[in-house]
Amino acid sequence: MTDVNTRDTKAIADRLALQAQGERIRITTHAHQEMVEEAVVLDDVLFALRRATVIENYPDHKRGPCCLVYGQSQMGRDLHVVCTTSLELAIIITVYEPKPPKWKGPFTREKIE
């Protein structure tokens, strides 16, 4: 797999789709714990990544380029996945359903006052 421009969200989404299609991913312990707590299975994550939209990109993150993506499970459940963007394997950092109090909807954070 070729390098990806970690500032190009379309290229990131395309690469994540390919990684999900080939199951070239690794789930961190934290992500696995969140998946269990949220009742999200691996197939949900893979399906969401195949159709993901990058909603926040962190190309200069201190631990390496990563992003927050939105996708849906096969059943239409909204999911957020935080994952790496520059490695041969997509490392899934966390997975959760965007919901209050942190999220108004899949693309809108609640304002903290």
The confidence score (pLDDT) of residue 3 equals 80
Q: DSSP letter for 22, please.
A: T
pLDDT in tens, 13-65: 999 999 999 999 999 999 999 999 999 999 999 999 999 999 999 999 999 99
The confidence score (pLDDT) of residue 2 equals 62
Decide: pTM greater than 0.75: yes
Closest listed residue to residue 72, CA positions, set 35, 34, 102, 98: 98
CA distance 32 to 40: 9
The confidence score (pLDDT) of residue 110 equals 87
The domain ranges of the chain are 9-103
